[in-house]
Amino acid sequence: MKFTIFQNSRQGPRQYNQDRIAYCYSKDAILAVVADGMGGHLYGEVAARFAVKMLTEAFQHLAMPILANPLKFLSDHIIQVHDAIGRHALAQDWPDCPRTTLVAAVMQHDELYCAHVGDSRLYHIRDGKIIFRTEDHSKVRMLYRKGLISKAELHTHPERNKVYNCVGGETPPQVDLAARRALWSGDVVMLCTDGLWSLLSSNEIGAALSSGAVTDSVPTLLDLAESRADQNGDNMSVIAVNWGEQPGTPQISTATMPMDLTTTIMGPLEDDSCGTNAKVGDVPDLSDEEIENSIAEIQAAIKKIPKQS
């Protein structure tokens, strides 16, 4: 398996970065996860961190070296993330449950599997054209599908940032699973938060990601999006993959990788020092150590689950 991969997260004009991103790979499979903690609720970044940590931990546990059923893996473990967030919020006695949007992809044996909840997106690009894109679980997209607003209003509607489906909260998420897709050498797969895609046109995304290695094209897209962001802009996070052998680009080859080994790379954050978006006096500050301890307990339980996915 050969691929080129790039990930980054920029804070933008926001006071905090609530996005979390990560990818991991085995000899024959890749998992990429992008989570956008929802700023209208306490500790959105905690929900996002649960998502990336639990999904990557499950992949490490089960991808030996592939996942037997990638779509079942994604669906089952996203529901586990939702349940874990709820248990953690209850244990902390928080007045509100953290929430996050999520998009995740598995790539193995020249096939792409995708799941998403909310308005974080996946793009599949071939020869400069977007041949697939996830459908946002947002209020404006629902209104558009029902013919109640025009396409132009998608970008100007006052409720364009509202989603009706998320991980965390009182209602279990409806995990949207995309049908299995063939991956060709030269294809590009990009996962990103709405802070990035909302500032770029489909033509710009398709053209940029077909212009060369994602290590060069994705920073260009981030720079372009940042140049257009106003004071109400959002965090911008992305993971992108060039699939297959790409001469002249920095590549990862798993040819000599042991069958039982996985590698996980947590995404860099431009500024991860702010801690939490909770308002002073709402709830006590939650340290990174407390979050990690809670996640570790859940991960320990996951390791006891038989390898069926």
Q: What is the pLDDT of residues 120-165, one digit of tens each?
A: 999 999 999 999 999 999 767 666 666 666 666 666 665 666 788 9
Q: Tell me, what's the pLDDT at 273?
A: 37
Domains and CATH numbers, the chain: 2-301 (3.60.40.10)
Q: Could you give the CA distance from residue 32 to residue 34 in angstroms, rounded to a whole number?
A: 7
Task: Point out the residues of the chain with pLDDT beneath 70.
Answer: 40-41, 139, 141-161, 268-292, 295, 297-309
Q: Tell me, what's the pLDDT at 271?
A: 46
Q: Could you give the CA distance from residue 161 to residue 143 in angstroms, rounded to a whole number?
A: 13
Q: Tell me, what's the pLDDT at 246?
A: 81
Task: Give CA separation, 164 vs 52, 191, 306, in Å.
Answer: 21, 20, 33
Q: Tell me, what's the pLDDT at 56?
A: 96
Q: Could you give the CA distance from residue 1 to residue 254 in angstroms, rounded to a whole number?
A: 5
Structure token digits, residue 298: 């859940």
Q: Tell me, what's the pLDDT at 84?
A: 94
130 in Cβ contact with 197 (< 8 Å)? no
73 in Cβ contact with 106 (< 8 Å)? yes
Helix (H) or strand (E) holding 47: helix 44-62
Helices 202-209 and 214-228, packing angle to 10 deg: 150
Rg (CA), the chain: 19
Q: Could you give the CA distance from residue 81 to residue 246 in angstroms, rounded to a whole number?
A: 35
Q: Tell me, what's the pLDDT at 13?
A: 80
Alpha helices in 120-163 (DSSP H): 139-145
Three-state secondary structure of 2-41: EEEEEEEEECCCCCCCCEEEEEEECCCEEEEEEEEECCCC
pTM: 0.87
Q: Could you give the CA distance from residue 55 to residue 24 in angstroms, rounded to a whole number?
A: 10
Q: Which of these, 188, 219, 197, lies nearest to 32 by C-alpha position?
A: 188
Q: Tell me, what's the pLDDT at 250?
A: 82
The backbone torsions φ and ψ at residue 129, rounded to the nearest 5 degrees and listed phi first, read -115, 140
